[in-house]
């Protein structure tokens, strides 16, 4: 695979490079890991420091199996952090990924630490040129994985609440996200209780 170096804020077309790597990586996975649905190598992670992978989970421990496979594929062996999510998660939406990491991971059981090779250009590697690597299983857990309870479905706002929230965030709304003294997150928090009237900015101000 292609190795990309440099600061993601350096002005290079990081998005284009990321998309090229994502498409190329998926083509590779199709031959070796057909259960991989999508992948994201965020430009902020310099592509090989962080990989977010969605899989069609088929058996207990599947996520950890994919982690080890990632660390055995070409330059993906340099990946410091691998996050595995379910196939219905949009790996390109970092907010959704962070949500799944927060609610689906028990650090004691779902985080895997191992040791692998380090990129020769990686300045934080130890002298032995090996590096600690972390894998996070952010998939829904099965009873066979030690979780006997029913894994809950996501809580989704009704369509009318989502539509109102979108309006409140829009530039045409007097309560848009750029309004002075208003936190970006407040429309989501306040729209539920204010369907029929504008929310009170005083409740949501910084």
What CATH number did the domain enclosing 76 receive? 3.40.1670.10
Encoding tokens for residue 69?
A: 């496979």
Domain shared by 66 and 167, yes or no = no
pLDDT for 76:
85
Tell me how far apart the alpha carbons of residues 100 and 154 are, in angstroms, rounded to a whole number.
10
Domain span at 169: 159-204
The contacts of residue 91 (CB under 8 Å, 6+ apart) are: 38, 39, 40, 52, 53, 54, 85, 97
**What is the per-residue pLDDT across 111-153, written as a single tens digit (0 to 9) for each?**
999 988 877 777 776 666 778 899 999 999 999 998 888 888 8
- Block residue for tokens 């929310």: 199
pLDDT of res. 38? 92
Higher pLDDT among residues 171 and 86, named by residue: 86
Number of domains within the chain: 2
Structure confidence by residue, pLDDT tens digits, 77-122: 889 999 999 999 999 999 999 999 999 999 999 999 998 887 777 7
Question: What is the pLDDT, as a whole number, of residue 182?
Answer: 44
Q: What is the mean pLDDT of residues 37-66?
A: 90
What 8-state DSSP symbol labels residue 78? G
Average pLDDT over residues 56-62: 95
User: How confident is the model at residue 141, as a pLDDT?
Assistant: 92
Domain assignment of residue 153, yes or no: no
Pair (198, 176) in one structural domain: yes
- State residue 125's pLDDT score: 66
pLDDT band at 21 (very low <50, low <70, confident <90, very high): low
What does pTM read for this prediction? 0.69
Q: Is 179 in the same domain as 116?
A: no
Q: Is 29 domain-assigned?
A: yes
Are 114 and 171 within one domain? no
Q: Taking 50 as the threshold, does the pLDDT of residue 198 lie above it?
A: no
28 and 99 in a single domain? The answer is yes
Range with lowest mean pLDDT among 37-41, 42-46, 176-180, 185-189: 185-189
Is 47 part of a structural domain of the chain?
Answer: yes
Q: Encode burial over 150-182: b for 16+ CB neighbours within 10 A, e otherwise.
A: eeeeeeeeeeeeeebbeebbeeebebeeeeeeb
Q: 13-17, 18-22, 26-30, 123-127 — which is least confidently predicted?
A: 13-17
Same domain, yes or no: 137 and 166: no
Is residue 141 domain-shared with residue 169, that is, in the same domain? no
Confidence (pLDDT) at 203: 41
Instruction: Indicate whether 192 pLDDT > 50.
Output: no
* More confident position, 191 or 94: 94
What residues contact residue 107 under an 8 Å CB cut-off, 6+ apart? none
Q: Are residues 163 and 137 part of one domain? A: no
CA distance 45 to 40: 10
Closest of 148, 182, 174, 170 to residue 60, by C-alpha: 148
- Residue 150 inside a domain? The answer is no
Same domain, 163 and 141: no
Assess whether 106 and 20 both reside in one domain: yes
In whole angstroms, how far apart are CA 67 and each of 7, 40, 53, 182?
A: 26, 14, 9, 41
Domain membership flag for residue 3 = no
- Put the strands of the sheet holding 81-86 in their side by side order: 36-40, 50-55, 81-86, 130-137, 111-117
């Amino acid at each position: 695979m292609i190795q990309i170096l440099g600061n993601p804020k350096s002005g290079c077309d990081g998005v284009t490079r990321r998309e090229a790597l994502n498409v190329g990586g998926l083509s590779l996975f199709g031959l070796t890991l057909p259960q991989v649905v999508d992948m994201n190598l965020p430009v902020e992670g310099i592509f090989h420091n962080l990989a977010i992978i969605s899989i069609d989970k088929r058996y207990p421990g599947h996520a950890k199996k994919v982690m080890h496979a990632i660390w055995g594929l070409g330059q993906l062996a340099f990946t410091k952090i691998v996050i595995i999510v379910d196939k219905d998660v949009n790996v390109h939406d970092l907010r959704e990924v962070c949500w799944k990491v927060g609610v689906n991971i028990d650090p004691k059981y779902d985080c895997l630490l191992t040791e692998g090779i380090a990129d020769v250009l990686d300045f934080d590697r130890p002298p032995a040129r090996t590096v600690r690597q972390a894998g996070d299983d952010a998939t829904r857990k099965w009873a066979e994985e030690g979780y006997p309870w029913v894994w809950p479905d996501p809580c989704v706002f009704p369509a009318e609440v989502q539509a109102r929230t979108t309006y409140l965030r829009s530039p045409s709304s007097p309560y848009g996200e750029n309004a002075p003294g208003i936190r970006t997150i407040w429309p989501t928090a306040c729209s539920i209780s204010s369907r029929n009237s504008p929310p009170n900015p005083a409740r949501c101000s910084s």
